[in-house]
């Protein structure tokens, strides 16, 4: 089909040259311009799907980025950003928590503990007792309903959230179901 079109193009061009309507150079210039433009348009069509996907992903990204997050704000003017790495001392002081979707069900009630730097600390309990929830609070997916959480002696919500994200990358959640803890090389912190 393309060959036929090229043939017709050359034939029509040559008739115009014969009539002295156009010059040979103009004919070939026009001929190749159409071929190259056609190929470019064809390639542009193949990225249309990627463009649509990219636009939709960018929309979702900006929607998530600009939403209002209900997060406890820092009590201080300049949220904490430390130059040196955090030691990782953790204290829960009388922490109680309910999930926003089940506001009547206390998942954690008046929990207090302190983990010092370098100390090994295990959270053990039956399914549904709130172990993963404790880690979620430490990663600031949620804020406690009552009580306070301290990291290196500072209230957790006073840290700059972006700085805390770097800290939370060092937190690994290892779930054990009656296995041998020694066989698992992961650490909580
Ligand atoms: N996103 C949520 N929304 C509402 N309730 C939740 C949510 N996640 C967990 N829960 C509830 O909170 C309680 C504690 O759950 P959590 O996952 O912290 O327990 P767990 O000790 O980690 O359990 P498992 O040993 O099975 O992992 C459970 O009753 C659970 O149903
Ligand atoms: Mg869990």
Residues around ion ligand 2, judged by CB within 5 A, are 132
Q: What pLDDT score was predicted for residue 143?
A: 95
pLDDT on residue 188: 42
Choosing from 65, 80, 115, the residue where a domain stops is 65
CB of 172 closer than 8 Å to CB of 186: yes
pLDDT of 46 reads 81
> In this structure, are 26 and 95 located in the same domain?
no
The number of folded domains in the chain is 2
Residue 41: the pLDDT is 83
Whose CA is closest to atom 31 on ligand 1? 128
96 and 174: one domain?
yes
Q: Whose CA is nearest to atom 13 of ligand 1?
A: 128
Tell me the C-alpha to C-alpha distance, in Å, between residue 79 and each of 45, 69, 162, 163.
Answer: 49, 17, 10, 9
101 belongs to a structural domain: yes
Counting Cα atoms < 13 Å in the Cβ hemisphere of 125 gives 11
One domain, residues 57 and 103 = no
Q: How far apart are CA 134 and CA 14, in angstroms?
A: 82
Please indicate, yes or no, whether residues 101 and 174 belong to a single structural domain of this protein.
yes
- The pTM for the full model equals 0.66
Give the distance between the most distant pair of CA atoms in the chain.
97
Query: What does the pLDDT read at residue 96?
Result: 98
| Closest CA to ligand 1's atom 16 | 130
Can you list the residues of the chain whose pLDDT is less than 50? 184-189
Closest residue by Cα to residue 1 from 38, 41, 29: 38
39 part of a folded domain: yes
Pair 103, 160 in one domain: yes
Do both 94 and 179 map to the same domain? Answer: yes
Residue 25's domain comprises 2-65
Query: How remote is the CA of residue 132 from the centroid of ligand 1, in Å?
Result: 7
Residue 79 inside a domain? The answer is no
Residues 60 and 97 in one domain: no
Return the ligand number nearest the Cα of 129: 1
For ligand 1, residues with CB inside 6 Å are 99, 101-102, 107, 125, 127-133, 175
Closest residue CA from atom 1 of ligand 1: 99
Kindly state whether residues 153 and 96 are assigned to the same domain.
Answer: yes
Ligand closest to Cα of 131 equals 1
């Amino acid at each position: 089909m393309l060959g036929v079109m090229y043939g017709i193009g050359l034939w029509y061009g040559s008739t115009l040259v014969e009539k002295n309507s156009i010059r040979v150079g103009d004919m070939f210039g026009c001929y190749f311009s159409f071929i190259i433009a056609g190929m470019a348009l064809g390639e542009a069509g193949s990225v249309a799907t990627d463009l649509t996907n990219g636009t939709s992903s960018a929309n979702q990204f900006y929607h998530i980025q600009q939403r209002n997050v209900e997060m406890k704000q820092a009590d201080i003017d300049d949220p904490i950003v430390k130059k040196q790495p955090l030691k990782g001392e953790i204290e829960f002081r009388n922490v109680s928590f309910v999930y926003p979707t089940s506001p009547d069900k206390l998942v954690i009630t008046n929990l207090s503990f302190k983990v010092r730097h370098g100390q090994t600390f295990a959270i053990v309990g039956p399914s549904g007792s709130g172990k993963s929830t404790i880690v979620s609070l430490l990663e600031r997916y949620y804020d406690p309903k009552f009580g306070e959480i301290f990291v290196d002696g500072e209230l957790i919500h006073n840290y700059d959230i972006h700085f805390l994200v770097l800290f939370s990358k060092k937190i690994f959640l290892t779930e054990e179901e009656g296995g041998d803890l020694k066989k698992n090389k992961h650490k909580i912190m």
